[in-house]
Amino acid sequence: MKVICTEKSQVLATQVAKALKTTVVDVKYTRFPDGELYLQAAEIDDEMVIVGSVVDSDSLVQLMLLVDACDRATNRLVLPYMAYARQDKRFKAGEPFSSRVVARALSQGVSEVITVNIHEKEVLKSFSVPAHNLSLAKDIGSYIRTLHLDNPLILAPDEGAMAFAEQVASAGAWEYDHLKKTRLSGVDVRMAPRQLSAKSRSVVIVDDIISTGGTIATAAGMLYQQGAKDIYTACVHGVFTGGAYARLMATGIRDVVCSDTIERSCSRISAADRIAHALRKN
């Protein structure tokens, strides 16, 4: 078994290979003069683990090309972050069912798909091969333990993220709660006031995705007004679009961390061991 990866998942893929005691295949990535993506992989094994987050259109195409380059092997696909998963139905007439489009495209040429904290588990049903989802909630909990906070309050920014916050909190038997979020538009979020015992406490806001950071920036502002001592935030997928990381730090949040499902300089939690464990099991 060997591991192969797209350009944007190189570090995570290498860690997965290390955990599996195997190697990462060398791939040359270039472009044709007209901008089309090209790649050439060396030494394909009979059994390949293909690791690649879909973070943009190029990484999606690169992943499909990589699967095709491995077409003589049994391929398992690890999709640490799947962009388009949030468009998990037609919300309005005339819209695409984007998550289904991506899932169908990525089912070709692979025998199994492994995702990490996919935004909506229903999306797994759109793959035409068996698809399993892993959660990094416990790993985020382990990271929070390293902060040595005194009696932290683990907070989900909305009710939908409550189960995730509960799993994170179980790592330290901490209290957990959620705020009420109303999305006003694609980028604007309003947090409805809620009675929290955040006063004089360290709060850790946890979520699956930080995209614009609007959700958490609004929550942080509100919590500081309520007298929170300090606020930290941790997520699985650090999308950080439109300057989100800087925006969050500017609100006075002490630290913003994410996992390496999207490789960032603040990726201080790794999905590698959990992915390797799942690959060994199946």
The one-letter code for the residue type at 148 is: H
Site string for ligand R5P, 140-159 (x = CB under 6 A): -----------------x--
Size of the residue set binding ligand R5P (CB under 6 A) = 13
What token pair was written down for 80? 């640490």
| Closest distance of CB 123 from ligand R5P, Å | 13
Q: How big is the CA angle at 64 (ends 263 and 279), to the nearest 5 degrees?
A: 60
What minimum distance in Å lies between the beta carbon of 161 and ligand R5P?
Answer: 6
Q: Rounded to 5 degrees, what angle do the CA atoms 265, 238, 186 make?
A: 140
Catalytic residue status for 181: yes
Contact stretch for ligand R5P (CB under 6 A) within 132-140, 165-173, 192-200, 211-219 = 211-219
Stretch binding ligand R5P (CB under 6 A), from 13-21, 137-145, 165-173, 206-214: 206-214
At its nearest, how many Å lie between ligand R5P and the CB of residue 99?
13
Q: For ligand R5P, which residue of 208, 219, 220, 257 counts as binding (CB under 6 A)?
A: 208
Question: Minimum distance from CB of 135 to ligand R5P (Å)?
Answer: 13
Assess 83 for contact with ligand R5P (CB under 6 A): no
Residues forming contacts to ligand R5P in the complex (CB under 6 A) are 157, 160-161, 189, 207-215
Q: Which residues are catalytic?
A: 181
